[in-house]
Structures are given as structure tokens and as C-alpha cells.
Structure 1
């Protein structure tokens, strides 16, 4: 794999410089944008593999940038790691609800940030040896092309939602804990609240539309894709 391209969208010049230097030292190709508007422009021009996106930005705030990326088919699969100076749980959940793949609160260790970035990129690239195409109950996952459909309708999924749905579809009937789903959807290096997975499941169900009921809540455990045997018995 060639060098991954990372765009840093950060209005704090000193922090942007630190991130730019350390990511470059790690072997990544980097670019810096100082506001949301410039960030969107650079994303469309340079097609990065991952965006480090500050929450509080001039011109267009980070949450709105993330919403716009997820609404555009050309960028809906782009990895987004959000940065914020606020540590409230609601901020983290809102960040994930608009499609962020991970979330880091300032101040943070650069080493930890690099680990989170490496985990996101590794998760996107790794091939676990499973079948390229998996089908269950009308939901199709094409891992090679990173595409999913429900019936004949394509699903516009974030990378985290794709990982989550892939795990469920591979093993219908198996109940996954929230911790297990965080590992498969966000990477085993992710440090997030277990409630975060509930946000991803709500977003996934909304996109599944009439197939949403296939994703079942297992009380006290987490979630599963309904077992086809259960459907046949009803």
C-alpha cells in the first residue's frame, strides 16, 4: 500500500503544525486546512484517505463539514477523526451521529492520536479472509468494493456503519456485545463510550429502512442480526 493521504483541518496553527510534523514523520502524506470551507475544498481536490477534523472551526464548523461529507456519495466513505476541546458525552455522541469514525478530546497525546489513526486506516485496508460477498435476508455486503445493498437499494454507509453491518450479516443470530461491535466497527484501539455503538445502530437502522427490524436489540448484551430460522418459524 502507498502512503496514506491525511488532511488536517485545524484552525490552531501551533497544533496543526505539530500534527503535520508527526504525521509526516510517521510516513503519511499530509495537507493542512485552517477552516471548514478550505477543508471541504481540499477534500474535493486531493481525495485524502483520512481527515483529522476539528469540531470548532471558522467558516463552517466541523459537525457541518462531517454532515456534508456523509451526504455526498463521493466522500461518504471517507474516514473522519474528530478533535474537540470539550469532553461532554453529548459532544462525542453528536460527533458519531453525523458519521465521525472516531473522536479524540483535547488535550491528547500525539502518540495516542497516531495509534487511533493507524487503527482506522488498518481497519479499512485489512482483509480478514472472509468471503468478498455476503448475503443474508436481503442484505448484501460486497467487501472488496466496500458496498452494501438492502433489497435492490444501495446503502450509503460510513466506514463504521459498514463494519458494523458486515459483522452482523456474517453471523446472523449471534448476539454481539457493544464492546465487540466497537472493535469491529471502530477498531480495537478505539476508546469510546459503549453508548456510542447505539448511535451507529440507530443510524444504520434508519438507512436500512424496511429491513431495519432485522437488527435486533438483545437486552443486557447488545445487538444481533435476526436469525433466518426465527423468521421461518413465525
Structure 2
């Protein structure tokens, strides 16, 4: 279980949705009082914690978590709009395991969560190797092959491909892809997704045909 203490409803819902879609159970809270009530019933594997909160700020919440033997070793990642070096040092000195400044991409967030869980000795989502026809993708080693040919992708192209492969059969809208890959505050147009999909198909060669356009909706990779 991962707890997300974030008072911005749009961010909280997006993060919880992304975690759930990745097979990680998550619950969101917009007030520390709700968080403390849930904590009394179930201890989470990891906490995503905003700093600017009603009732009490995130650093105070972090201080209490570190003072309690039951949560002293629970990984805590700070999610906050404060991005100065002083704020980061302050959060890390208080016992945070990592510090992620807004806006952030969901793929980066998932990678940070997996790293924190691994360091804490918790379970980590295994890195899958994807095979589809002559397409071979190894996320852990960042390898993509079309048959015997190595394919060089940009980071965003690689993240797009892995997301579609991981959720094979699921149709993603352009907005969902923008939120997940580029971050919820990315101000680019949905055309950005179309351009990346087009170049991704071109680079994948024959394997590029596995990325299907669902007219009027978005893109997917078929289950078959």
C-alpha cells in the first residue's frame, strides 16, 4: 500500500490512478488528519508527501513519521512545488528518502518509487522483457531491437513504447499520454504525442505497425 498525502485533487487523483494502473495499491488523502487515521489502521510501504498542506505542513508530518518506531524506516518521497536547494536539503535532512519537484513526469515518479522500495527492502515491480513479433524491448537495460537491428530511441519515445507494451490492449488518449509521459503540467499540445508516435513507428521499422491508431481516441498496442 502506498499513501499519497496531497491536497491538490488533480495531482492526487493522477498519481493514485497511475500507481493503481501499475499494479500498486494506493490511497490518496488531502488532509493530514485523514492520513493519520488511515495510518493507525494500516502501515503503508511508502508515503508520497506534499509540503504545502492544510492543518500541518509536510515537514511536520515527516518529522512525526520519523519519530515513530513503526514508521521510522518507511520510505517517504516529498512531492512539492518548492524546488530551491534549501528546500531540498531541509526535506532530506528531516529524513525524506527522495525529493521530487513539481511538475514531474509519471514515468520518473514510478522509477523513483521503485528505487525507494528496493533500497528499503520492499517489493519492487519486476522489470519485464517485452517480445512482440520481431520486436524485443528490455526496459531494465534500455534495449530495443527490431529483429536483429538495434533501434535507438529518445527517452520519451522509449517511455511511450514501454507504456503501450506494458498495458497491451489498452487504448490511451493523447491527454493520458501527455500526463503520464510529459507530466501533468506540460503545456504542449496533443500534437506532441502524434509527432512522437510517428517517429517511433518510423524508427521501429516493420515492428512499428504494432502501434495502432484508434480513430478519435488515441493509440494502443493490440494484445494479440
TM-score bracket, shorter-length normalisation: 0.5 to 0.7
Distance 2:32 2:122 in 1: 30
CA contact (8 A) 2:63 2:95 kept: yes
For 1:49, the equivalent position in structure 2 comes to 45
1:119 aligns with 2:103: no
The DSSP-based 3-state class of the residue aligned with 1:23 is helix
For 1:106, the equivalent position in structure 2 comes to 102
Residue 66 of structure 1, aligned match among 44, 62, 87: 62
Distance 1:44 1:77 in 2: 16
For 2:8, the equivalent position in structure 1 comes to 12
Deviation string, structure 1 residues 81-136 (Cα, Å, up to 9, x no partner): 00110111010001011110100000011110110001111222279xxxxxxxxx
For 1:29, the equivalent position in structure 2 comes to 25
Q: CA deviation at 1:41?
A: 2.2
Unaligned runs of 5+ in 1: 128-234
Distance 1:58 1:17 in 2: 18
Deviation string, structure 1 residues 195-226 (Cα, Å, up to 9, x no partner): xxxxxxxxxxxxxxxxxxxxxxxxxxxxxxxx
CA contact (8 A) 1:33 1:42 kept: no
Paired residues, number: 123
Say if 1:51 and 1:126 are closer, same or farther in 2 by CA, change over 3 A: closer
Say if 1:49 and 1:89 are closer, same or farther in 2 by CA, change over 3 A: same
CA contact (8 A) 2:73 2:120 kept: no
CA contact (8 A) 2:5 2:48 kept: yes
* Cα RMSD for the two superposed structures: 1.5
Q: CA deviation at 1:26?
A: 0.8
Distance 1:126 1:66 in 2: 19
The DSSP-based 3-state class of the residue aligned with 2:71 is coil
Distance 1:126 1:99 in 2: 18
CA contact (8 A) 1:37 1:60 kept: no
Distance 1:47 1:37 in 2: 15
Q: CA deviation at 1:37?
A: 2.2
For 2:85, the equivalent position in structure 1 comes to 89
Say if 1:20 and 1:73 are closer, same or farther in 2 by CA, change over 3 A: same
* TM-score, with length taken from structure 2: 0.53
**Bigger Rg, structure 1 or 2:** 2
Say if 1:70 and 1:107 are closer, same or farther in 2 by CA, change over 3 A: same
